[in-house]
Amino acid sequence: MSDASQLPPPVLAVDNLRVAYGARVAVGGVSFRIDRGEIFGLLGPNGAGKTSTLSAIEGLVKPKSGRSLIDGIDTVQHPLEAKARLGVQLQSSSFQAELSIEQIAKLYAGLYGVHLSREQIDASMRTIGLDAELGKRFKQLSGGQQQRMALYIATIHEPLLLLLDEPTAGLDPQSRRALWQRIEQARGAGRSILLTTHSMEEAQAVCDRVAIIDHGALLTTGTPAELIEKHKDDPRVLEVAHGPVTLEDVFIGLTGSEIRD
């Protein structure tokens, strides 16, 4: 018989998380967990509460109630210890405009307690195809290069959990595919990943499980195939489907067809 107390904690456990900005509730009691080596996608229209959920896990906003544990560590009670286990790629990656790529790498390595030699930086940059851009500033890179650099910085300390907020937004198909590969590689290296996205194609291509969130509440959770199976007979889904039900049909059926700003 297995003893549950001997099992490692989930990499991320979010329990009844509630985030509000003044009177406006952005996240109203969300719960989910991510296991080791799992890629979990948070899908939702604009303003659904995806980024607010991530912000609470990252420690950027203090939840009104509930909690999130990274590797068993409470992100509110022990924020620095939790952040040390976390790699983050924000929606808009902003590094100091005056710093070169190499200087940014050194800064963030230092913040995570990683000593990086020039040779190690060179090798890393070769791996992500930025070795020729080492002296350039972040803003001088193309969109795809910026995303690769941001993902490199997010993984510079080999974190347990990666939080990626719309990592492929604005990328061309080639760059998007290349980034999916890197996300897969990160999982291959034993990391767990929580990503938010608007792209159903992306969710199906890279996520083991997805959750659909809207108006601050999780509507459904499961593998992409499970969600299609579970909701294929839902009248709201059938109404928007044009042929066999897809994940996008499920998404639009559950969250509505109106355009969100």
Residues that bind another protein (CB under 8 A): 9, 21, 58-60, 69, 71-74, 78, 80-86, 88, 90, 92-99, 103, 106-115, 157
If the CB atoms of residues 107 and 189 are measured against another protein, the closer one turns out to be: 107
Q: Least separation, in Å, of the C-beta of 181 and another protein?
A: 24
Q: Least separation, in Å, of the C-beta of 97 and another protein?
A: 8
Q: Least separation, in Å, of the C-beta of 194 and another protein?
A: 13
If the CB atoms of residues 162 and 178 are measured against another protein, the closer one turns out to be: 162
CA dist., res. 65 & res. 222, Å (int): 25
SS3 125: helix
Q: Least separation, in Å, of the C-beta of 43 and another protein?
A: 22
Two structure tokens written together for 113? 């307690």
If the CB atoms of residues 109 and 179 are measured against another protein, the closer one turns out to be: 109
Q: Which amino acid, one-letter code, is at 248?
A: E
If the CB atoms of residues 62 and 177 are measured against another protein, the closer one turns out to be: 62
- How many Cα atoms occupy the beta-carbon half-sphere of 189 within 13 Å? 16
If the CB atoms of residues 43 and 86 are measured against another protein, the closer one turns out to be: 86
CA dist., res. 48 & res. 217, Å (int): 8
Q: Least separation, in Å, of the C-beta of 73 and another protein?
A: 5
If the CB atoms of residues 83 and 231 are measured against another protein, the closer one turns out to be: 83
Inter-residue contact 114 to 158 (CB < 8 Å): no
If the CB atoms of residues 160 and 241 are measured against another protein, the closer one turns out to be: 160
Q: Least separation, in Å, of the C-beta of 85 and another protein?
A: 6
In 2-137, the DSSP E strands lie at 12-21, 24-34, 39-43, 65-70, 73-74, 86-89
User: What is the pairing mode between strands 39-43 and 192-197?
Assistant: parallel
* Start-to-end CA span in the chain (Å): 52
Residues in contact with 197: Cβ distance below 8 Å, sequence separation at least 6, in sequence order = 41, 42, 43, 166, 167, 168, 203
CA dist., res. 85 & res. 57, Å (int): 12
Q: Least separation, in Å, of the C-beta of 111 and another protein?
A: 4
Q: By C-alpha distance, which of 125, 127, 100, 105 is closest to 116?
A: 105
